[in-house]
């Protein structure tokens, strides 16, 4: 029931969620799926150790790991973080807080490497953009919006979230038309290179980056 509820929560927040009912199934999924952005791991798994799963995930790379468990003893928390977990959330938990922790951990993880989406490559460490191998320069607002889309991994971004993220300190100088114009410019700048419209409009809500994204370290 909890896995089903979490999957629905994450899907509703714009994530693509994959669940596994056991230690064995989780290991199989991790070996099969190449682009997992973050792992939620319960410690009490029927056929194996959640801590061992955390250690395996950490040994394989830098994918963020959040432990989600009913075990709240100090020693267990320390053991979980020492095993390589990036965060520790105890049950019962609040949905909004969990989503905020997921967002924060994903944001911290996307600080280096290159986001690749079709013919587009965006270097996270220095903010340089390459399209079909050639460096491309965009206006400041366009670049900020594109970076937000590429970092989102295809999640739905509400107009409110975009405004708060990009223009938190300049709310008085922008309006709804500002975002509409920037989206149109990005579509015009990148649509031909992508071979399709890279930005999906969700009417009345916001926008979603429509192309697959991956991060190359």
Enumerate domains of the chain plus CATH numbers.
2-109 (3.40.50.2300), 114-216 (1.10.10.10)
What tokens appear for 50 in the block?
């959640």
The whole model's pTM is what?
0.59
pLDDT in tens, the chain (217 residues): 888 999 999 988 888 899 999 999 999 988 887 778 899 999 988 888 899 999 988 888 778 899 999 988 999 898 999 888 989 999 888 998 999 889 888 877 766 678 888 889 998 888 899 998 999 999 988 998 998 898 877 778 888 888 888 887 665 667 788 899 999 999 998 888 888 889 999 988 889 998 888 777 6
Measured CA to CA, the distance from residue 12 to residue 206 in angstroms comes to: 14
C-alpha distances in angstroms, 24 versus 21, 29, 50, 85, 86?
A: 8, 9, 11, 19, 22
């Amino acid at each position: 029931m909890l896995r089903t509820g979490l999957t629905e929560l994450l899907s509703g927040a714009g994530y693509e969620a994959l669940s596994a009912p056991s230690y064995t199934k989780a290991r199989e999924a991790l070996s099969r799926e190449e682009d997992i952005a973050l792992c939620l791991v319960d410690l009490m798994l029927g056929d194996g150790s959640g801590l061992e799963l955390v250690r395996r995930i950490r040994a394989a790379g830098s994918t963020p790991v959040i432990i989600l468990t009913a075990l709240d003893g100090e020693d267990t928390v320390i053991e979980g973080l020492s095993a390589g977990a990036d965060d520790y959330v105890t049950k019962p938990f609040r949905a909004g807080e969990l989503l905020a922790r997921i967002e924060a951990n994903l944001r911290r993880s996307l600080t280096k490497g290159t986001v690749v989406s079709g013919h587009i490559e965006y270097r996270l460490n220095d903010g340089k953009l390459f399209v079909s191998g050639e460096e491309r320069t965009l206006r400041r607002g366009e670049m900020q919006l594109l970076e937000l889309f590429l970092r989102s991994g295809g999640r739905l971004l509400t107009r409110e979230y975009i405004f708060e993220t990009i223009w938190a300190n300049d709310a008085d100088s922008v309006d709804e038309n500002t975002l509409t114009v920037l989206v149109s410019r990005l579509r015009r700048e990148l649509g031909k290179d992508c071979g399709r419209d890279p930005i999906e409009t969700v009417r009345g809500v916001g926008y979603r980056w429509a192309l697959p994204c991956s991060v190359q370290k």
